Amino acid sequence: MEDRTIDRFRRWFWRPPRPHGQSLRDRSVTNLELLYDLVYVAVIGQAAHHLAEDASGRSIAEFAVVFAMIWIAWINGSLYVELHGRQDGRTRFFVFVQMAILALLAAFIADAGGDGGRAFALTYAIFLAVVAWLWYSVRRRDEPEFMAVTGAWLTLMAVSIIAVSASALLPPDPRLAVWAVMSVSWLVALKLLGQRSQVFQMGVRPTVSMVERFGLFTIIVLGEVVIGIVDGLSRAEQDFITIATAIIGLVIGFGFWWMYFDVVGRRLPRADGSAVADWILSHFPITLSIAAAGAAMVSVVEHAHDPSAPQATAWLVAGAVALGLLGLIGASWALEDARRLPGVYRPLELAMAVGAAAALVVGWINPAPWLLAALLAAILSVLWFVAVGEFLRAGAWAEVESDATPEGERA
């Protein structure tokens, strides 16, 4: 009896991963995935804190590259569990291994653009190696038709591991350039795989849990806006102007939340490879912009009494709003609802493009920090009212609310 129990435990603990094509459409996001995402709070927070300390052009470029690497790590880890993970010991073990590596990675992010970049590069290469082994374990169980896609993915993983490891030997500027090239290569590869491979469409199918997972990651970066506001308040004189500027800055974070979850969140992308890839890729500028806005809030609040914010800060927060809106446009193009409700999404996409341009104009004008924040918050607020108006005009707003309500709670 004892031997049988041990045998059952072994079989449960080390079950092989699900092969491609066996997506679980009714699965829910697990507590393990929620814990895994929480580690990225620390990782992204360290990167945002470094940008908040120095919102120069170089720091912004460094933040964009490092954030891209963090996002690529999250994509690999989260998609593996979504497509191939199980409720077993093996999945849990490797998720905890990734979390341990990411915790160590967070310690090196603050100086990733300097001497700490060597340790960051080697730690990141170890993370990629662990994930590459997981993807290879899937490839060993795949049907022949998936071999081309998994082979391309593993080749990209291998090249990335070699490139990032070798970058540890380079000075800071060339090292950052290698990371930038690697990050762009991942974005381009994902786009090409989705656009040109029917196998990608069979292997990466949109599910409710996938949509929920990307929404949760968006919430994580939205937390950086709150952290930035609190950090700025703790450093500045806490008088009426400073507190008012902070509250207005919070409205920018609320505006991002409303626009994302009412326009894109909780909505499935179309079930074709190109749309799924575009939907995934659009989350990179969306989350990058929100995290960058959170970092900029520290300086906006700190300089609340100045006649204008530092120019780099103004461009950072305004550019973040503009980039986030463009990312939302890209995500909306890939939605099934955009095809079903063109009368809603086409004018809304045009309005968001105009809003992005208006945000850049605000950054160029660079008024007083409180007014800078107020104008950007107003842009997001107006766009949300446009979205609500379009959905109501099409009779689709109640439908969204109905879809989000549990069956037992409906009237």
HEC string for 196-221: HCHHHHHHCCCCHHHHHHHHHHHHHH
Q: Do 118 and 192 belong together in one domain?
A: yes
Asked if 355 contacts 380 with a C-beta cutoff of 8 angstroms, the reply is yes
Query: Mind listing the pLDDT tens digit of every residue in the chain (411 residues)?
Result: 555 666 666 666 677 777 766 666 677 888 888 899 999 998 999 888 888 888 888 889 999 999 999 999 999 999 888 877 778 788 888 999 999 999 999 999 988 888 888 999 999 999 999 999 998 888 777 777 777 777 888 888 999 999 999 999 999 999 999 999 999 999 998 888 887 666 566 667 788 888 999 999 999 999 999 999 998 888 878 889 999 999 999 999 999 999 999 999 889 998 887 888 999 999 999 999 999 999 999 999 999 999 999 999 999 999 999 999 999 999 999 999 988 889 899 999 999 999 999 999 999 999 999 999 999 999 999 999 999 988 888 887 655 444 444 333 333
In terms of residue numbers, what domain contains 48?
19-205
CA distance 348 to 386: 7
* Burial state string for 17-39 with b = 16 or more CB within 10 A and e = fewer than 16: bbbbeebeeebebbebbeebbeb
Do the domain assignments include residue 2?
A: no
Q: Do 267 and 360 belong together in one domain?
A: yes
* pLDDT of 12: 65
CA distance 350 to 382: 13
Give the predicted TM-score (pTM) of the model. Answer: 0.90
Do the domain assignments include residue 3?
A: no
* pLDDT of 197: 61
Q: Do 262 and 145 belong together in one domain?
A: no
Q: Do 275 and 147 belong together in one domain?
A: no
Q: How many domains does the chain contain in total?
A: 2
Q: Do 93 and 38 belong together in one domain?
A: yes
Instruction: Render pLDDT for 331-390 as a digit per residue (tens, 0 to 9).
Output: 999 999 988 889 899 999 999 999 999 999 999 999 999 999 999 999 999 999 999 988
Q: Which of 205, 227, 255 is the last residue of a domain?
A: 205
Do the domain assignments include residue 52?
A: yes
- Is 58 exposed, middle or buried, given 0-12, 13-18 or 19+ CB atoms closer than 10 A? exposed
* pLDDT of 74: 95
Q: Do 126 and 268 belong together in one domain?
A: no
CA distance 336 to 338: 5
Q: Which of 184, 205, 226 is the last residue of a domain?
A: 205
Q: Do 210 and 185 belong together in one domain?
A: no
Q: Do 235 and 359 belong together in one domain?
A: yes
Q: Which of 185, 205, 225 is the last residue of a domain?
A: 205
Q: Do 199 and 84 belong together in one domain?
A: yes
Coil, helix or strand at residue 239: coil
Do the domain assignments include residue 179?
A: yes
Q: Do 24 and 143 belong together in one domain?
A: yes
* pLDDT of 406: 39
* pLDDT of 87: 80
Question: Could you give the C-alpha distances from 168 to 163, 243, 273, in angstroms and in order?
Answer: 9, 43, 35
Asked if 369 contacts 303 with a C-beta cutoff of 8 angstroms, the reply is yes
Q: Do 126 and 212 belong together in one domain?
A: no
Do the domain assignments include residue 301?
A: yes
Question: Could you give the C-alpha distances from 362 to 112, 354, 384, in angstroms and in order?
Answer: 31, 12, 18
Q: Do 375 and 309 belong together in one domain?
A: yes
Do the domain assignments include residue 248?
A: yes
* pLDDT of 90: 83
Instruction: Render pLDDT for 56-92 as a digit per residue (tens, 0 to 9).
Output: 888 899 999 999 999 999 999 998 888 777 787 888 8
* pLDDT of 403: 45
Total Cβ atoms within 10 A of residue 159: 12
Do the domain assignments include residue 408?
A: no
Do the domain assignments include residue 9?
A: no
